[in-house]
Amino acid sequence: MSEQSADSAKPAPLAGIRVLDLSRVLAGPFCSMILGDLGAEVVKIERPGIGDETRQWGPPFWHHLSAYYLSCNRNKYSVVLNLGVPAGRDIFFRLLQRADVLLDNFLPGSLERLHLRRDDIFRVNPHIIWCSITGYGKTGPLANTPGYDFALQAMSGLMSITGPPEGPPYKVGVAITDVLGGLYAAIAILACLQARQSGGHGYTIELALLDCVVAAQVNVAQAYLVTGQVPPRQGNAHLQIVPYQLFATADGYLVLAVGNDEQWRRFCQACGRLDLASDPRFRTNPDRVQHRRELLAELEPLLRGRTTAQWQALLSAAEVPHSPVLDYAQLFQHPQAQARGLKLTVRDPTGREVDLLNTPFRIQETALPPFRFPPDLGQDTEHVLRTWLGCDDQDLTQWQSGGAFS
């Protein structure tokens, strides 16, 4: 249980909000996990016998659940539902009547082929906030193309600016387009929940992962729009700030992140090179960007002259932004990570302990819900149908005989 849930008398920010999540893999589940972390009741609708593909995306596995699935499915309920049969669609529409948010990541036309048309959805619930996430959007020549993170990183320009200056372009180490899409989706849903309080009507959110990752390239993409010049890859350096990059030290690596001219002067003073601060080639950031090569010729041997620990002590005293490069083992052992609770030790339904990533939300004036372990496939089907729909044993038997679930 997370520390935020200690005061159960205070409702979570999204307490009382119900989410039907038809999405799978990462972008949609990441979005619904955010809503669940904030107190929404999230019901994950999964295909019978298969469920979310990420359940099997391993190794590694925690017993039968993949690490991938565990990373983005906490604080949810799992309901197995066959939307391809009338009984399954009947349950879906009854659940939809009681939901506030509907989330999906189907290709355009897929829901219609399941006889789940837009008009029917808003007829059943005119107040629903429906967020649909696709790879490339519902318009344009790529509308029917499945959205895979690696392909989207390639097309979006992100890979063109990632990696060493020489050699092939690189992808970001995680599926960043999906994570960005999930964040944008959550923001849009929260905005529409707020707007619905005064407007009273539902909203349709159409979100493309391509749009999200392009928008998230902020200053680098904007630099192209301003100049018409394609920016070169900078490796571990910054296109518009110098020195703001990775340097080799005597025993490892260190990120030096000098963000303004005052920090630059403090750096030069701390390492005994005030001549660099007064050099007209390096006095201001535009000067340093213009004379990047000359400056690096001075800084690279300078940084190699001390160990990483020595630089950390020196730069911390001078209040110059920096960081060593940590791997996950070093990160989760770091006092800052422990103070912030970046990992959470929980028990699965059988009582076995496992460390999972924690939610980043820390809200002092309210309580977030107790941690709910990522669910097994369909483990909550009966519970949700009874609590949401008030059904009885006869209803469950009838729906099961109709093929809605097994």
Q: Which of 37, 104, 178, 380 is catalytic?
A: 178
The boundaries of the domain holding residue 162 are: 3-217+335-401
pLDDT computed for residue 9 by the predictor: 63
Q: Do 279 and 209 have their domain in common?
A: no
d(CA 373, CA 353) in angstroms, rounded, equals 11
Residues 4-32 as b/e (b if ≥16 CB within 10 A, e otherwise) read beeeeebebbbeebbbbbbbbbbbbbbbb
Q: Do 316 and 382 have their domain in common?
A: no
The domain that contains 107 carries what CATH number? 3.40.50.10540
Q: Do 271 and 163 have their domain in common?
A: no
In a domain? residue 83: yes
In a domain? residue 161: yes
Q: Do 349 and 381 have their domain in common?
A: yes
Tell which of 308, 326, 344 closes a domain. Answer: 326
Please count the structural domains in the chain. 2
Q: Do 282 and 376 have their domain in common?
A: no
pLDDT per 10-residue tile (average), the chain, 406 residues: 50 96 97 97 96 95 94 97 94 97 92 89 96 96 95 97 94 97 98 93 96 97 96 92 97 97 97 96 97 97 97 97 96 96 92 94 89 95 96 93 90
The two structure tokens encoding residue 166: 């020489």
In a domain? residue 235: no
Tell which of 288, 305, 326 closes a domain. Answer: 326
Q: Do 252 and 213 have their domain in common?
A: no
pLDDT computed for residue 10 by the predictor: 84
Does this model's pTM top 0.85?
yes
Q: Do 207 and 64 have their domain in common?
A: yes
Any catalytic annotation for residue 119? no
pLDDT computed for residue 194 by the predictor: 96
d(CA 30, CA 73) in angstroms, rounded, equals 7
Number of residues in the chain: 406
Q: Which residue matches tokens 């899409």?
A: 181
Tell which of 275, 296, 326 closes a domain. Answer: 326
Q: Do 208 and 261 have their domain in common?
A: no
Q: Do 53 and 110 have their domain in common?
A: yes
CB within 8 A of 14, min separation 6: which ones?
35, 38, 39, 40, 193
Reference 359, options 20, 44, 67, 32; nearest CA is 32
The domain that contains 268 carries what CATH number? 3.30.1540.10
Chain centroid, CA 23 distance in Å: 14
